[in-house]
Amino acid sequence: MKFLGNRISIQYELFGPEGAPTVVLSHSLGSSLIMWAPQLPQLAQNFQVLCYDSRGHGGTAAPEGEYSLDMLGDDALALMDGLNLHQVHWVGLSMGGMIGQNIALRQNGRFKSLTLCDTSAQIPEEGRAGWRDRIAIASEQGMEPLADPTMERWFTAPYLAENPSSVDAIRKQFLATAPAGYIGCIHAIKTLDYLDQLHAIDLPTMIIVGADDLGTPVAASEAMQGEIPNAKLAVLKDAAHLSNIEQADAFNAALMGFLNAQ
């Protein structure tokens, strides 16, 4: 389905019983709502689930130019408002977790809970050169040269070897991402710096991270837990960046246990 909000067309899907508490799922950079397939069957039993494609990804518009986290947050808020979803449980992975932090800090009262998965609250200065390199590659050569290095960050070596069909589906979605959208979102996240503000988040918060996530490592999740009052942390063994796919059962157990307690 399509929704026109914040001056762009946003693609979204709704699952689960209408009128039930709503969970919003927000995906990583270079993916789309398809990455949440392992979570949907369990979530949709007791929750209405809103999946959407972030600006520049999937079926959502990919305008040229630099995006900001405020812009990405405003896209999600416009979609929520258009669907009359005034308070939701937010689940965001990587970029989706950064968008969740943005909304939680700017729009107090929109979330019933916050789940931050394989994400960070701060991009260190030494990490910004890598983002600049990705912008240059995507600008000059497109997404293909970035695909294999990305899969190697997103999954552990054993998973890559043993689950070619699953990896291929995610790789194809990455390759289908518009370079303008990928680059726009990198501009939004490469100067991320929310860590010193997280103490203001007064929400039930769950943090989930793969033990082998190199892009947003366990230390980044521990730093967020240290700032957000009473935040819980689950570290999933044998999982890299897309822990919701690589260790779906453990991820779902942590997520459902948290959401059902709210």
Residues 6+ apart with CB under 8 A from 245: 35, 38, 155, 166, 170
Mean pLDDT of 230-234: 97
**What angle, 0 to 180 degrees and rounded to 10, lies between the N-to-C axes of helices 179-189 and 128-141?**
170
Mean pLDDT of 60-68: 98
Q: Assess contact for 149 and 232: CB atoms under 8 A.
A: no
Instruction: Please tell me the total count of domains within the chain.
Output: 1
Q: How far is CA 13 from CA 38, 63, 153, 174, 257, in A?
A: 15, 21, 28, 19, 24
Nearest to 117, CA basis, from 22, 255, 246: 255
pLDDT tens across 11-41, in order? 999 999 999 999 999 999 999 999 999 999 9
CATH number at residue 138: 3.40.50.1820
How confident is residue 129, by pLDDT bands cut at 50, 70 and 90?
confident
Percentage of residues of the chain with pLDDT beyond 70: 100
Strand-pair partners of 70: none
Structural domain harbouring 102: 2-260
